[in-house]
Chains A and B, each alone.
Chain A
Amino acid sequence: MSPVATTTARHTPTVPPAGSAAHQRRDRPARHRSESKAGYVFLTPWLLGLVTITAVPMLMSLYLSFTNYDVLSDWESMEWVGLDNYRTMFTEDPSFWHAVKTTLVFALVATPLKLAAALGVAVLLNKGFKAAGLFRGLFYLPSLLGGSVALAIVWVNMFNRDGAFNSFLSWFGIEGKAWVNDPDFALGTLILLAVWQFGAPMVIFLAGLKQVPNELYEAASVDGASPVRKFISITLPMLSPVIFFNLVLETINGFQGFTSAFVLSNGTGGPVDSTLMYTLHLYIKGWNEYQMGYASAMAWVFLLAIGLVTAVVFRTGKFWVHYSDGED
């Protein structure tokens, strides 16, 4: 626990000396001014961060994307190359398109599967029974562990020639292969790793399910609706804001997959570029080949692409997300 949290425990709210306050009560505008000032005092670290860690680097990367900056040599040797990085990216770098395809396949397959698993299990767990909390915890655990290098290592070995997956297949007399070394299957193993982490969206679905009024289901039962019908006509529409929230979050996450692909391919994106996620390609360009200008251009294209996808998701959301009342 942080020192902040522990030191606070000792102090219960106490009444401070009232000297300054008497003045403030008399003079309201002064209090507003002081509150406004205090607002900016408290906001200072965040504002500093916004400028130095976010805004300036963003503009800087936009500038760098038009140069051939390589980090190694000094600034003087940096040249303005105009749109060359972007041109190379779109027309002369086949790996760029492999990366785009890999990332799209990964995000567009893993996200729906993960959300479907999350929703399905959430529905199973929703009817309160004794062990529900235990299962909820168990299913959530992979979301905490799954993003790590350690787990990616385990996963890759599980789908290797002598891994657990092939042992499982051998029960059925099927002889497996080294799935992670096969360009047709390597990405599939990473998608499975992503789906395995369905616990985080599941927990959010569970909270959403608790908000659905029980009367709706009761009314539907009176009308003789089947469970499937209830799911389609009550659960899905009532849950659509939560589905939407999870969809946005998980899609953005999906586009940024890096660790598992790095581990599977030992940082190369192989076999045959089949696990070359966009961020991995960016890393290779920037830190293996020292093409920081090119990597900056890639980062900006990435930002625009994610912005576009998010906008599309928001746009389509208008058609299927139902807000049951004004406030939520």
Chain B
Amino acid sequence: MGNLLDIRGLDVAFRTYGFRAHILKNVSLSIPEGGRVALIGETGSGKSVTAKSILGTLPGNAHVEGGSILFEGRDVLQLAEAERDRMKGTAFSVIMQDPLSSFNPVFRIGRHLDDVMRFADMRLGERSGAAERQKRIYEVLRKVQLSDPERVFSAYPAQLSGGMRQRVLIALALLHQPKLLIADEPGTALDVTTQDEIMKLINRLVSENGLSLLMITHNLGVVRQMADDIYVMRHGEIVEHGPLRQLFTSPREDYTRQLVDAIPPLYGPKVVDQPPVEGEAIIALTGVSKVFSERRLIGRGSEHIAVKDVDLTIGKGEIFGLAGESGSGKTTVARMIMGLIAPSTGEITVDGVKMAGTGRSDAFRHLTQIVYQNPGTSLNPKRTVGQTLSVPLRFAGLERVRFDARIAELLRHVDLPAHYVSKYPHELSGGQKQRVAIARALAANPKIIVLDEPTSALDVSVQKNVIALLQRLRDELGLTYLFISHDLSLMRNFCSRIAVMLRGELVEEGEPRTVFAKPAHPYTRALIAAVPVMADEEEQMKPSVSAEERKRFLVDAVA
């Protein structure tokens, strides 16, 4: 048959600390000539190891224990190293995942590109001059929509934006027409709109050049546009595979169904409308701005306006969503509400108390708590769950004898067993850590909890449970949430009201139902349009964005 790549019964094990960890178990996967295949799995499922096995970049402690990888009928695992090297970048190429760390920071971008091209040329037996290579590289850079290739070529990695670096990574993979493109979670670290652009670009390049694509991702929404065949991976095994439509509409395995169901819908009958909350105002911002200024020794220092003239009222009991991409000022707004930083101008009132100065007064202390994005850094690794939870109790003046009872109650609130008090963070999973972080926020009896992308670092299946927990706690304890996120589909279902920020300004505000049905601001439209969705029907219900509008908000893409 016309399969470009055939993985048969691949077994890979890692050796660490005297143990053998079986990472890939009997993995089989086929990519037809010109086909687009997606490999889906959550963190640690072994999908990246599969990619590295194909590329031949497994770490030293990994051993291929069985199986074969046939590329055009030849088993690459049996090839001599030099022969295998010859295929890199020419037979198959990879689009690396993290645009930030994928370049050596002390070398120019052009140096990376030139070396990759030069050595691939040498392996192909072609001689090439530096000037000629530069011309070819510029061409490829233009192909990935970097309109100023000279500047990109001579820039250091730190001088480019994340989106631009991701484009360079794509260019790197396309320097020599490969047959197979392996994309390892491209754009994951980028903003939604940029990610969307990147996906469209990859898609176009694949179809224009007749490449085959292996798309590795944890994001099911992305897959719909990017693949025809889907493999679902879990704990190193392929649990299910089949054509996209069948897998999305009628999955055979529970696990796949769980994955599909965990994605919140953006449009359609499955969307949940949160009832509007008519509470009195608990948070009020009037004309709030925040300017960060930098002093320089000579010349004028620069000023950065993080938040510009924001008016905002949040009612008691609301789940207020603040959406925006990185650098939009949404986190700065939250930090001002928590009293961690003072506004440059304007006034903030929280629960009737007017904010003054930078200090958090005692009255303020119990009002607002926060749940952070990254479960890895939000708990002190050297302190047990019990010790972490006792801090707010102790400083709220609770008697020591009542600690145990209160901690047990807090753990009950977040659905963790009572014996978790003695566990250290490294013994907990990401979702469990996030539950402990929620319990800590509850411990001080706050009225408001700031949720700073509390689920974005979690796998989708876990994400759903944490969101359900948060919803229940709001109802039971009468809390008000300020939910900061860039995940619009999640906000659509979880928030009672949302606002969108762009470059420090509030550009849209309203109930999710109206905002999503009739987005007023073009940026909101662009943002919604970029959200990956699960079904074609949803895709069609998205607002349309003109090319000119898109360009206005994506300065990043076109250099």
Do A and B interact? no
Chain A residues in the interface with B (C-beta under 8 A): none
